[in-house]
Amino acid sequence: MLGGHYTYARVPLGDWVQHALSLQRNPYDRLGHFAQGFVPALVAREILLRNSVLRRGAWTFFLVTCVCLAISAAYELVEWATAEATGGAADAFLGTQGDVWDTQWDMFTALIGALTAQITLARFHDAQIDALARRQPA
């Protein structure tokens, strides 16, 4: 909602981070794409594990990462379609800030978010799923 209100390149929180870290661009868009990987990773992991589609392990990690990258790629296709439909007016909405690699950076940032979520929260998430399973009647 903030990105829609201010445009991604002008969100005040991003301006603060840009100045605090001496960055060349407002990173608010990157923070959003990090979340675009982080949050779906937990959701996808929950769905795959609780529905007994997969067991915990490397395949779960890999497929959750793939789901997150697919979501990110789909979002980038929507951004591309918006740019095609609206022409030059899309630059402010998309927040590319003149970066020709913006799409790749967005997907890479989502990848980092997905990996971070799984690496940092998998054990806690597993414990929560196990606790929930113990509380449910068989």
Contacts of 49 by beta carbon, 8 Å cutoff, 6+ apart = 56, 60, 126, 129
Q: What is the mean pLDDT of residues 47-67?
A: 91
More confident residue, 85 or 94: 85
Q: What is the pLDDT of residues 4-40, one digit of tens each?
A: 666 666 677 777 777 888 878 777 888 888 999 999 9
